[in-house]
Amino acid sequence: MTWRIALNFEDGVTRFIEARAGETIADASYRVGVNIPLDCRDGACGACKCRVEAGAYESGAYIDDALSGEEAQAGFALACQATPKSPMAVSILSSSAACKTKQQDWETKLISVERLSETSISFTVEKPAGLSFLPGQYVNVGVPGTEQTRAYSFSSAPSDDRLSFLVRNVPGGLMSGWLSDTATAGAPMRLSGPCGAFYLRDLSRPALFLAGGTGLAPFLSMLGELKAKGTQAPVRLIYGVTNDEDLVSLNALERYAGEIANFSYATCVASSVSDHERKGYVTDHITPEDLNGGDVDIYLCGPSAMVEAVRGWLAEKGVSPAAFHYEKFIPGVPAPASKAA
C-alpha cells in the first residue's frame, strides 16, 4: 500500500511523492531526493513542521516544544513523525529550491480548441504520463513558437485522462491569438508545474465558491473532484461575468448540479444592459445562508479588481470566514497570485 502525497512549497511549486506503508512524510521525501526541512528526526526540534491541508495521518510521538496542542489542532504536523493513512496535501514551510527540488517540465500535444464565445476559448491536450495536480492548481503553458509562457488553471479534474483549460480571448493576446488563428491538432506543447496554493482542501463545513470570468476554470476542476469523491458539505458557486456573452460552461455547471448532491450555483452579469435574470456583482448575490455565520470556507478566483472588491466587502460586512483561499489573475501575465487567509 502506498499513498500519494502532494508537497506544496512556499514558492508555489508542487511535487508529488509516494509514501510507502508505515513511512513518514520526511522519509518518503528524502527517499526520492526532496530534502524538506529536517533536523532531529525524533519529534523534538520542530524543524520539519508542516501544515496538512488534506488527508488522514497518524501524528506520531513528539514533545510540546516541537508542536503545541494548538498547532496540532490547527492542522500542523511534524513530517518526521506523521505517517500518511490516505492521499495527502501538505504545505512545506520552505521553498522548493531550498528543498533541492524544482518545477517539473512536461511535453504534450494539442488535442482540440473550442471557441466557447467571443471572449472565451477552451483547449485540451494529452495528459503526460506521471503528471498529477491538485484540483484548482495551474501550470505554465509554453506559447508555441516563442520562449514565453502563460499560466492557466486546469479546468479538468485530476482523474480525467485529458487536460483542459479555459482561456480568455484577449485581443492581440499571444496565446489566445495562437489558439484562435494557428493551432492545429497534434501541435507539440510544453507544460511546467503543477503550481499554486489555490486548491481544494478537505471540506468539513459549507463552502462558497466565487468565480469571475475565466476564473471559473479551477472551480470546474474542483467540481470534477467532488463528483468523483463526493462531499457531505454544502457547496455553493456564484459565477459572475461582465457581459452576457462571457457566461460559458453552463452545461457543465448544470450537469454537476445534478451529479453532486450538495452543490448549487447561480450566475450573474454586471452589465446594466444585460438581459440576464441576475444583474450586478457576485457580492450582490451572496446571502446570509451562504456565509453561515462565518463558519464557511470561501474560495475566490477572478480578476484582481474582483478579488480586492470581495475582500473589501467581507471586511465591510464584518465577516471573517473560517478559511479564505483566493487567486487573482491579469490576462496575459505569466502566473496568478494565490493566497490563503
pLDDT in tens, 28-59: 999 999 999 999 889 999 999 999 999 999 99
Write the CA distances from 105 to 131, 141, 194, 272, integer angstroms: 9, 10, 9, 44
Does residue 26 carry a pLDDT above 90?
A: yes
pLDDT band at 296 (very low <50, low <70, confident <90, very high): very high
Average predicted confidence (pLDDT) for the chain: 93
CATH superfamily, region 105-195: Translation factors (2.40.30.10)
Write the CA distances from 142 to 56, 110, 175, integer angstroms: 36, 12, 9
Residue 171 confidence (pLDDT): 84
Residue that has been written with the C-alpha cell 466565487 in this structure: 210
Residue 270 confidence (pLDDT): 95
**With the C-alpha atoms ordered 264, 273, 121, 327, is the resulting torsion angle positive or negative?**
negative
Residue 224 confidence (pLDDT): 97
Report, as an integer, the average pLDDT of 186-199: 95
Nearest CA to 109 out of 183, 192, 194, 167 is that of 183
Residue 163 CB neighbour total at 10 angstroms: 26
Are 340 and 325 in contact by the 8 Å Cβ rule? The answer is yes
Per-residue pLDDT tens over the stretch 102-114: 989 999 999 999 9
Domain covering 207-340: architecture: 3-Layer(aba) Sandwich (3.40)
d(CA 85, CA 5): 10
Report, as an integer, the average pLDDT of 188-197: 94
- What does 294-309 look like in DSSP terms, one character per residue? G--EEEEEEEHHHHHH
Residue 130 confidence (pLDDT): 92
Report, as an integer, the average pLDDT of 318-322: 94
Does residue 337 carry a pLDDT above 70?
A: no
Q: Which amino acid is at 93?
A: L
Residue 45 confidence (pLDDT): 93
Does residue 329 carry a pLDDT above 80?
A: no
Residue 331 confidence (pLDDT): 59
The number of C-alpha atoms within 13 Å of 263 and in the hemisphere containing its C-beta is: 22
Residue 47 confidence (pLDDT): 93
The CATH class that applies to domain 2-92 reads alpha beta
Residue 27 confidence (pLDDT): 95
d(CA 269, CA 13): 34
d(CA 318, CA 147): 46
Where do the structural domains in the chain lie, given as residue ranges? 2-92, 105-195, 207-340
pLDDT band at 341 (very low <50, low <70, confident <90, very high): low
Residue 293 confidence (pLDDT): 93
pTM comes to: 0.89
Report, as an integer, the average pLDDT of 275-296: 95
Per-residue pLDDT tens over the stretch 251-264: 999 999 999 999 99
Tell me the helix, strand and coil percentages in the chain, rounded to 5. Answer: 20, 35, 45
Instruction: Tell me the Cα Rg of the chain.
Output: 20
Report, as an integer, the average pLDDT of 210-217: 96
Per-residue pLDDT tens over the stretch 152-171: 999 999 999 999 999 999 88
pLDDT band at 335 (very low <50, low <70, confident <90, very high): very low
Residue 330 confidence (pLDDT): 67
**With the C-alpha atoms ordered 26, 31, 34, 35, is the resulting torsion angle positive or negative?**
positive
Nearest CA to 111 out of 169, 186, 213 is that of 186
